[in-house]
């Protein structure tokens, strides 16, 4: 990531390009960059995914642990999020340089996942009501940062949660209202997270000039006055809206933007889900035939 500096002429070049629906890299206003998504590359985690949107690179690891239940929600499990920007992504992230960005992104991710808007079946994560539950730790690591980070993180997280398997538990009644449970040691005999497919995706629209674009590069991000992040699930319902930056949005434009985001998000989810399920099937089939499953891992790149 280059330093966040932009000259007035650069800015006007980009703004005018967007005005005429032709961006610096040749995309139209509502076009995504190339996306690479791969699941299950960290075998030690309960679920993992790596997403590369253009040059933005995010690695998400999910770890499920047994934890104490929150007393205000005695029959639900919990999700804990953490986003960290690696110093390898930018020189500015060294030391405490990334703290503010980390906080912003963590908070945004948390708003997305923790709560009924995430669509996840949190009640299924409860093991013994009032006592113990599964806690899902989502750790996102930003490896490279080339714009549209939040969308990329959420997309990768969604994919990692699809990949996550929670070990089965068997509850034993000890009598006298006391329970103990046993964890099945077989990794394959584990369950996916309930209602993972109801998880929303984020579509962030960046307003530049009078127009708005999706999936900006760093330079484009610097030109935008205001951003609007919309959470959309597979039914096209809006699960959350968040405005960012200092600028303002006209109410009529706002409605239009939300409408655009919903349409974009819905079709993106459809395509992504189909791909994820296909991919998983291919892996299972390979294993059935006894062939080794090889991951692209960190060799994956955009060509």
Residues that bind other proteins (CB under 8 A): 43-46, 64-66, 167, 172-176, 178, 180, 182-190, 284, 287-288, 290, 292
R_g of the chain, CA atoms, integer Å: 21
Q: What is the nearest approach in angstroms of other proteins to the Cβ of residue 203?
A: 33
Q: From CA 15, how far away is CA 250, in angstroms rounded? A: 19
- Which CB atom, from 48 or from 217, has the smaller least distance to other proteins? 48
- Which CB atom, from 211 or from 295, has the smaller least distance to other proteins? 295
Q: What is the nearest approach in angstroms of other proteins to the Cβ of residue 293?
A: 9
Q: What is the nearest approach in angstroms of other proteins to the Cβ of residue 65?
A: 5
- Which CB atom, from 5 or from 174, has the smaller least distance to other proteins? 174
Check: CB of residue 40 under 8 Å from CB of residue 163.
yes
Q: How many CB atoms lie within 10 A of CB 39?
A: 22
Tokens read off for 17: 């390009």
- 3-class SS at 199? coil
Check: CB of residue 214 under 8 Å from CB of residue 208.
no
Give φ, ψ of 155 to 5 degrees.
-65, -45
Q: How many CB atoms lie within 10 A of CB 125?
A: 22
Q: Establish how many alpha carbons lie within 13 A of residue 291's alpha carbon, considering only the half-sphere containing its beta carbon.
A: 9
- Which CB atom, from 30 or from 283, has the smaller least distance to other proteins? 283
Check: CB of residue 206 under 8 Å from CB of residue 273.
no
Q: What is the nearest approach in angstroms of other proteins to the Cβ of residue 199?
A: 22
Return the DSSP state at 150: H
- Which CB atom, from 64 or from 152, has the smaller least distance to other proteins? 64
Give φ, ψ of 259 to 5 degrees.
-60, -45
Q: What is the nearest approach in angstroms of other proteins to the Cβ of residue 14?
A: 46
Q: What is the nearest approach in angstroms of other proteins to the Cβ of residue 80?
A: 14
- Which CB atom, from 100 or from 173, has the smaller least distance to other proteins? 173
Q: What is the nearest approach in angstroms of other proteins to the Cβ of residue 110?
A: 22
Q: Establish how many alpha carbons lie within 13 A of residue 36's alpha carbon, considering only the half-sphere containing its beta carbon.
A: 17
Give the residues across from 204 on adjacent strands: 229
Check: CB of residue 108 under 8 Å from CB of residue 242.
yes
Q: From CA 38, how far away is CA 296, in angstroms rounded? A: 8
Q: What is the nearest approach in angstroms of other proteins to the Cβ of residue 102?
A: 26
- Which CB atom, from 40 or from 119, has the smaller least distance to other proteins? 40
- Which CB atom, from 267 or from 284, has the smaller least distance to other proteins? 284
Tokens read off for 107: 């908070």
């Amino acid at each position: 990531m280059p330093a966040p500096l932009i000259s007035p002429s650069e800015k006007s070049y980009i703004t005018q390009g967007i005005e005429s629906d032709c961006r610096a890299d040749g995309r139209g206003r509502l076009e995504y960059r190339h996306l690479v998504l791969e699941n299950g590359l960290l075998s030690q985690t309960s679920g993992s995914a790596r997403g590369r949107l253009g040059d933005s690179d995010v690695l998400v690891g999910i770890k499920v642990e047994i934890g104490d239940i929150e007393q205000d929600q005695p029959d639900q499990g919990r999700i804990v999020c953490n986003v960290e920007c690696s110093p390898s992504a930018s020189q500015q992230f060294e030391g405490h340089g990334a703290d503010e960005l980390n906080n912003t992104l963590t908070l945004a991710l948390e708003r997305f996942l923790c709560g009924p808007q995430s669509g996840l079946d949190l009640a299924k994560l409860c093991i013994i009501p009032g006592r113990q539950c599964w806690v899902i730790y989502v750790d996102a690591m930003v490896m490279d940062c080339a714009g549209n980070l939040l969308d990329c993180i959420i997309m990768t997280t969604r994919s990692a949660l699809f990949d996550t398997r929670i070990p089965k538990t068997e509850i034993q009644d000890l009598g006298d209202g006391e329970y103990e449970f046993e964890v099945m040691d077989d990794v394959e005999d584990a369950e996916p997270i309930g209602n993972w497919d109801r998880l929303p995706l984020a579509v962030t629209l960046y307003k530049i000039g009078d127009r708005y674009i999706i999936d900006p590069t760093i330079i484009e991000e610097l030109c935008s006055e205001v951003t609007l992040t919309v959470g959309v699930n597979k039914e096209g319902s809006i699960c959350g809206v968040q405005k960012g930056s200092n600028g303002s949005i006209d109410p009529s434009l706002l409605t239009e933007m939300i409408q655009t985001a919903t349409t974009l998000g819905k079709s993106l989810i459809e395509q992504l889900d189909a791909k994820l399920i296909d991919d998983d099937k291919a892996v299972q089939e390979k294993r059935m035939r006894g062939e080794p499953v090889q991951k692209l891992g960190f060799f994956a790149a955009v060509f």
